Structure 1
Amino acid sequence: MQFLQEYLVRLSESPEARRLEECVRAGRSTVLKGLHGSSYAMLLAALSQRHELSAVVLAEGYESACYLYSDLSNLLPEGQLYFFPSSFRDEFTSFSQQSEAIIQRNEVVSQQRQLQERICGGGAGIVVVSYVQAVGEPFAGSDVFSANSFVVRVGERHSPSSVEERLHELGFTEEDRVVKPGQYASRGSIIDVFSYTESQPFRLDFLGDEVDTIRVFDVDTQLSTRKVREALLVPNVDRLSHGVGEETLLQLLPRGVAVWGWGLDLALKRYGKSVEASAAGLPVLFRKETALREQLLGRVLVEVALSPLDAGVEAITFGMTPQPLFQKNFSRLADTIRSDASLGYTTCILAEQHSQIVRLRDIFTDLSLGSDKYKMLEMSLREGFVDERQKVNFFTDHQIFERYHAAKLRKRLQVHDPLNMRELQLMQPGDYVVHIDHGVGVFEGLVREEDHGVVREYVRVGYKDNDTVLVNIHNLGRLSKYRGKDGTPPEIYRLGSGRWNRLKQKAKSRVKDIARDLIRLYAERRAEKGYAFSPDTYLQESLESSFMYQDTPDQESTMLAVKRDMESAVPMDRLVCGDVGFGKTEIAVRAAFKAATDGKQVAVLVPTTVLALQHYKTFSDRLKEFPCRIEYLSRLKSASQQREICEALKAGKIDIVIGTHALLRDSVRFKDLGLLIVDEEQKFGVSAKEKLKALSRQVDTLTLTATPIPRTLQFSLMGARDMSIIRPPPRLGSRGRRGGGGCGGGGVRRR
């Protein structure tokens, strides 16, 4: 990072930066030209750190603001940088407030007086990243905020009942278990509170009438993540203020703070139309466009725009150009680095993950590019650029590989129970569900019922003779979606008849026999010697680098675990759990290719013909640039085509075969099967799994599923099978833009 800090110093001392500083301190607005990629963030960071300039930065919209904040978070310390979004979606696509955005706003709102003092008192500059819609949304002033929040500290005297009473007064709702901001739950001497100031809830533990400990804990695991000395408990204050004592971000910050922005005139016009069209449905009174325009014109503006808000201002031109287009052509990249080095340019390649740095170094070594010709930094920016005047190239790995880049924000809320909630939202009245205690019933929708003065939400499940059971929305674990033979309606039992319990007991006795066989099978697999695959080759690194998305931390750890298992002499038996779209197929592609490069055959078993064709297209597209033959076997193939595929498999001419139950036929023989991948295991019947047991005794097995059946999950949890979990991917993704650029958000794409 020393090189980066040295560059920021040089940039801050450049004639253009000095001129910009003079204009801001003299109260003169300016227009910036010649900035491309993340050079805008670099310039902001340099002026904030070196010249102690504070700024409010208005991006083009929410996503652009996220990416700018993500860039600046790599360049500025945490205490200097703040993110201030609107509590509503961009351009009011939804009239409901977003809890995560309120938490992020409150980081600024809760420190109103401190920020004013820090800015007026000098020192390092404060940067607040926002956008027009966000600064047009008012928030509760410091007096209102203080009156509607309170701080609990370790060692203070508070009885649990008094804290509960105060929480109720502030508008917190009592629940059995806290899952989102604005809720609290009480259990004896423990009170859990989800405040609108943190992305995780607090757990207050009382010893009598004294606060003994305060912990922050994870909603999913209920485990503590850290201890704290105090907890700021804040409800959604904006809903309590009713327009009294409200102000906007521009009113909060001193007038000497400059406003940086892109195309503010157009952004204001777009904002005005959105507010006018949505005013009737908004619970918050947004400031009018004319009022915001007046506030902005009363400040020092630093704009990037063809038609600036303040016409006739001075223009300052920088010498930045966009990162060149390489299209994954590493020879061209190496030639560019060599050529620029001969002209006195320093090339710095930015990669967020260490694994990418290792891949690039290996590629450059193979291309005979010396390490003295370039520098590598383990950090990420949205877009690379070339500073022609300082003779520095900043290239990003995701643009080189044409991969998607995700913005990173602090104070992000966890996603809870995505599978259960998704299934619940997709259910229609009349669908069948299974209650763990009462058996198969009919889903009749969601209802609200009052329980001891508290309104709770329940799932209504119908049974025989018009009986119903209400299941609390926070106890969804007691329900599961019914999965049976298509077209065959299940039997609905009468509540209290005992038939469901007898059926469960019968099933348990059969499960014991099955479990005994499975334990024996897994013990044999552990004891037997399998094939130890070779470490990654250049081909493997090239395949992984070509993935268009940036690996999530869970994807990366899962792939490392799969490789570790494959390179071991013990046959792999790993279960990978993750929802649809979370990257399980990419794990399968990489594992299959690793096996194929070692000369082993791979079988990918899927439950349906449609999924077989889908996987065939995905595998073929990802491996089209590599010497790997892929085929699929299903009923869509003619009898002669199926015979040809079977003969080719037996002769070892096919590397990867994807198929349905057809792969389990006796006529299918492999020359040297090394890896079996089973997708959606829960959809295969008992007979299919018996054949799988014989097929997979000595080969590595990788199972992919979004909904593991209880037996499979139980074996994973008890250690008989290894398990990896892929949780939600990044919410924002932006592909490295080709050519031109500027500082705008034109390259933003949703994943």
Structure 2
Amino acid sequence: LSVIQTPPPNRYPVQTEVHTFSTELIAEAVNFEMSRNGQVFIVNNRISSLYDLEALLHKHVPDARVCVGHGQMPPEELENIIFGFVHYDYDVLVSTTIIESGIDIPNANTIIINGAQNFGLSDLHQMRGRVGRSNKKAFCYLLAPPLAALTPEARRRLQAIENFSDLGSGIHIAMQDLDIRGAGNLLGAEQSGFIADLGYETYQKILSEAVKELKNDEFGDLYAEEIRKGNDLGGENFVDECALESDLQMSFPDDYVPSSSERMLLYRELDGLERDEDVEAFRLRMKDRFGEIPEEGEELIRVVTLRRLGKCLGAEKIFLKAGRMVLYFVQNEKSAYFESKAFGQCIAYAAMNAHRSNLREANGRRSMVIQEVRSVKDAVGILRQISELQAV
């Protein structure tokens, strides 16, 4: 991420203040700017109110030369007004947000934004950027109802634009905007909004599962071709992750990897592996660093392959306890998974091994129980056999 933080020479931060609407404040700000031969923007996003503000200025600052500009004017008239303001024919331009971008008038160094609570952070930041474009000190006045009367989001927006007024603070305003909207800081470890309760990885996982569920169920007709291809490929199209629950000994013992922090790093690295080649490379590195891997360590390494095979067969969870293995299939009993090649392979295995396996359904959840599975090694061997079968 490249951030521009160095301002041009002889630039000053724009002094930003939040106030309630006050005729005295507006008159004082305009008089001060006129006293140093500067110009003023007054922004109001309702065209119907622009001329009321013009009348207010004529009444309280009679010396001010005021013009009004908005997007519903004929283009020629609006162009003449803007050029007149650029050439210092007017002291005050009362307008809508049409000044937000594309206008660079170095002599305009005060901006008054009425109804600031109704603007987004990016709008406020852009409009504030219309002043302070020379070597003069600039001012930005945000006029809004009392903070206590505003919504929490509007209050946070005004506080953010007031607090982040230093030059180069645009990135901080953008991050604060993400925070207010609930998206969080996607570029780092800090999270906010609803993501703070889940964590970024879990949020992405849930989002992916929700999209896949909508594709397979509610919008199944639109994605019929994609689902058909998934049926031909296997159950991986229907399962994001295969969980494992087991009572077997699976770990790197303390006497094999003495450092607890090192063990945690190895567990994390192992959890991120998917391909058999990566698992084998991990096993070779372990042997090279720590020596021959004990059996409980080998069992842990085999878990990666077990979960991958389970995912390919459409198992959301594998239960490996008391000498038996239970594969819990896709929970939605109406899912297209149950017409897929992967489920056909599971049926074929159950039919060929009726003495040790059977399919069952309880509480709307379909599963397959396989007896005489006493290790992860046995479980991997069985899932490989199922994957190589012809579907029924």
Q: TM-score, normalised by structure 1?
A: 0.16
Structure number with the higher strand fraction is 1
Name the larger-Rg structure: 2
Structure number with the higher helix fraction is 2
